[in-house]
Amino acid sequence: MKYISTRGQAPELTFEEAMLTGLARDGGLYVPAEIPTLSAEEIAGFAGLPYEEVAYRVMWPYVSGSFTEDEFKGIIARAYAGFEHAARAPLKQMAPNHFLLELFHGPTLAFKDFAMQLIGQLFQVALKRRGDSVTIVGATSGDTGSAAIEAFRGLDAVNVFIMYPHGRVSEVQRRQMTTPDDANVHALAVDGDFDDCQAAVKDMFNDFDFRDSVHLAGVNSINFARVLAQVVYYFTAAVALGAPHRRVSFTVPTGNFGDIFAGFIARQMGLPIEQLVVATNQNDILHRCLSGEGYFKGETIPSISPSMDIQVSSNFERALFYAYDQDGAAVAQLMDELKTGGGFNVSQGAMQALSEIYTSGRASEEETSATIKSELTASGELLCPHGAVGVKVANEHLQDGVPMVTLATAHPAKFPAAVEDASGVHPPLPPRMADLYERSERVTRIANDLGTIEDHIRKHIAN
């Protein structure tokens, strides 16, 4: 499988090269040159299999050529061995036709672990074979950073620098990033918001001197390997609910459009997905865009679902690439308008294409809190604020005869203050993390300035 850039001007790469590179050199994102498909029989055959086996069957066509079958099976086995639930991504019923897909049983209690644990193992095997080392730089609104640190800590061929917006992540998220004491992990608290952190990562990738001198690699959701890992649970969930014989809908709490884009890939691969519903919080650029209002940046307003406090949604570029019939020049033009003018309008044809695949909704802060409370009463489920945004929007899109699956993207204990304010119930951390508040923290506060951040990284590369 070859990988091509959404802006059409970067060299085609193998899976391994695309994974180690992250952002394409033309500023675009890598996508597979073709999306492989699975037959209805192959999908039906997933019923009752272990998560790891489905993972292997779904992802193999994308990675073959970069790994052997045995290598890849070992990578998957190690990636998910640390999950606390035997099903990895269990489904829970909340209402007759509404299910919750619990994606928070990994080491850092959010769905990011599904991708990051896999990427850690993929990097390790690939770098070992190449005798190479890399510097991973990531921007996080909270959950990516802890998942990356957990996945890469202690690996000798990798240094990880994670930038998060100072004061804008939850205490649990912060502590998960600042308490690991491995010499190869570095938490940076940036004086800025998430979009500033994300922009700094992009700028580092576009500073080719820096990029090449430190062997920069990216593990943000722009990395296609991340998206790929997330395709798997759409299959396991849908098949558990009767696919491919029955159509299933998904609602996805969305920020950077990675998780929902994985749903698009699953659909293109042949999974009968009826609706793919984008759920946003008050930072609703995606909902506005999918409602036909164009894609125009607003101010990011901090919310109780901070992992979705995003106004520039990097993976949306991939959705646009397909909506514009894989026209890289058209995508490059839109991204230029975004950079210079703060936004763009989507052509009528592309809007039509997007609306055939995605629908959307938004939840205000009050609606999010009210949903945490009402769902606790209705089904006994204690939702995290991100899952609550999803459930609120999903409830507006229920259809008779089509099961709805809402992705529960984090454990409520990751956001205890918001959950307790809404429900009166304090969600305890799982026992394996109970001492998180006692561990000592290690973090560098840093200015939102590219030169300062690059200098810091150069100085702290430990090998």
Q: Give the residue numbers annotated as catalytic, written as ranges.
A: 112
Q: Looking at 13-21, 72-80, 255-263, 363-371, which segment touches ligand PLP (CB under 6 A)?
A: 255-263
Please select the residue that binds ligand PLP; options are 32, 106, 192, 253, rule is CB under 6 A.
253
39 Rama class: left (phi>0) / alpha (psi -120 to 50) / beta: beta
Question: Cα separations (Å) of 84 from 103, 411, 432?
Answer: 11, 12, 10
Question: Cα separations (Å) of 239 from 43, 105, 343, 383, 447?
Answer: 7, 20, 39, 24, 48
d(CA 374, CA 307): 22
Q: Which is nearer to ligand PLP, 179 or 307 (CB)?
A: 307
Is the CB of residue 271 less than 8 Å from the CB of residue 238?
yes
Please select the residue that binds ligand PLP; options are 117, 220, 221, 280, rule is CB under 6 A.
221
Closest approach, Cβ 449 to ligand PLP, in A, equals 25
Q: Which is nearer to ligand PLP, 125 or 405 (CB)?
A: 405
Residue 278, Cβ neighbours under 10 Å: how many?
Answer: 29
Residues in 125-164 at the binding interface with ligand PLP, rule: CB under 6 A: 143
Q: Looking at 23-31, 51-59, 251-259, 328-336, which segment touches ligand PLP (CB under 6 A)?
A: 251-259
Helix (H) or strand (E) holding 295: strand 295-296
Which residues, other chains included, contact 291 with Cβ-Cβ below 8 Å and sequence gap of 6+? 360
Q: What string marks each residue from 403 to 442 as x (binds ligand PLP by CB under 6 A) or -? A: ------xx--------------------------------
Closest approach, Cβ 364 to ligand PLP, in A, equals 17
Closest approach, Cβ 39 to ligand PLP, in A, equals 28
Q: Which is nearer to ligand PLP, 13 or 110 (CB)?
A: 110
Q: Looking at 81-89, 92-100, 240-248, 254-262, which segment touches ligand PLP (CB under 6 A)?
A: 254-262
Alpha helices in 290-364 (DSSP H): 316-323, 328-341, 348-357
Q: How big is the site for ligand PLP, counted in residues (CB under 6 A)?
A: 17
Residues in 95-124 at the binding interface with ligand PLP, rule: CB under 6 A: 110, 112
Question: Cα separations (Å) of 82 from 65, 106, 108, 117, 122?
Answer: 27, 7, 10, 9, 16
d(CA 278, CA 195): 20
Please select the residue that binds ligand PLP; options are 83, 257, 324, 358, rule is CB under 6 A.
257
Q: Retrieve residue 33's tokens.
A: 């040159």
Tell me the backbone φ, ψ of residue 425, rounded to 5 degrees: -110, 130
Q: Is 308 in the site for ligand PLP (CB under 6 A)?
A: yes
Closest approach, Cβ 148 to ligand PLP, in A, equals 12
Residues that bind ligand PLP (CB under 6 A): 110, 112, 143, 221, 253-260, 307-308, 386, 409-410
